[in-house]
Amino acid sequence: MLARTLRAEEFAVDVARSDAAALTAVRGDDPDVVVVCLGSSAHGAVVLDRVRQAAQCGVVALADTEMAPLISRVGVAPIGSRDRLSTRIRQTLRHSHQRSEEGGAQRRHVDDLVIDVAVRRVYQRGNVISLTRTEFAILRVLSDDPGEPVTCRRLQEVLWGATQPGGRSALGVHIGNLRRKLGDAPSCPRYVRTVRGVGYCLAG
C-alpha cells in the first residue's frame, strides 16, 4: 500500500521485505533516500540505526507514535501519518542536494576516468558509467591514492564493516563487475589491477 502510494506520486520505489535485504539494497543500489517502516517494536530502532550507518543518503523513518522516544535516541524524527511521508521525502532529497552543492565537485581524474565523489558518479571519456553503490565505494577507495595497493581486508571493512566483513569471494565478484563496466580485459586490466598477495590498486 505504501509503495503504491509513493509510486502514484511519481517516486521510483524498490521494496525490501527483510532486514538483510534492506541493508543489501542500501549498500548496493545507490538510493536517493531510504524509508524505514518501523512498526511498533523496539527492533525497528535497531534496524533504523543499522540502515543509517550503511546509507550514504537521507533516511526517513515511518513510525507509530509510541516509537517516538526510541526514534529520537537514534537521531531520526518519527512521522506520525503516511500522508506526510511524501513531503518529508522531498525535504530530505532537497537537503541532500544542497549538501552536495555546498561540498563542491570533488572530482578525481585517473587516466580517462573522472570520479565525482560528491555526487557518486563516474565518467569515462565523457560518458557516465553506471555503478552500484558497492562498485563506486571500491573505486573511491582505490582512487584515494592511485597506483598504491589497497588490501583486501581494507576494502572488505569499507564495504561491510570491521565486525562483519564479507568474504574475499564476494569482493572478487564486485571487482569483476567493476572491471567489466570499465571495459577492463580480465587477463590484463587497464584500470583495476590485482596486486598479488595484497589486494588491488587503481592504475595511476
Q: Is the pTM above the cut of 0.75?
A: no
Identical fold, 2-103 and 107-202: no
Long-range contacts of 177-182 (CB under 8 A, 24+ apart): 177/132, 177/135, 178/131, 178/135, 178/138, 178/139, 181/129, 181/130, 181/131, 181/135, 182/113, 182/124, 182/129
CATH code: domain 107-202 is 1.10.10.10
Gap between the Cα atoms of 145 and 203, Å rounded: 10
Gap between the Cα atoms of 6 and 143, Å rounded: 37
Q: How many residues does the chain have?
A: 204
Please compute, for residue 134, the number of CA atoms within 13 A of its CA located in the half-sphere on the CB side. 23
Tens-binned pLDDT, residue by residue, of the chain (204 aa): 778 888 888 888 889 888 888 888 887 777 888 888 876 566 777 777 778 777 777 788 776 655 555 554 444 555 555 557 778 888 877 776 665 554 444 778 888 899 988 778 899 988 889 999 899 999 999 998 899 999 998 898 888 876 555 678 899 999 999 999 999 988 899 999 999 999 999 986
Domain ranges of the chain: 2-103, 107-202
Helix (H) or strand (E) holding 34: strand 33-39
CATH homologous superfamily of 2-103 equals Response regulator (3.40.50.2300)
Characterize the bridge pairing of strands 192-195 and 150-151. unpaired
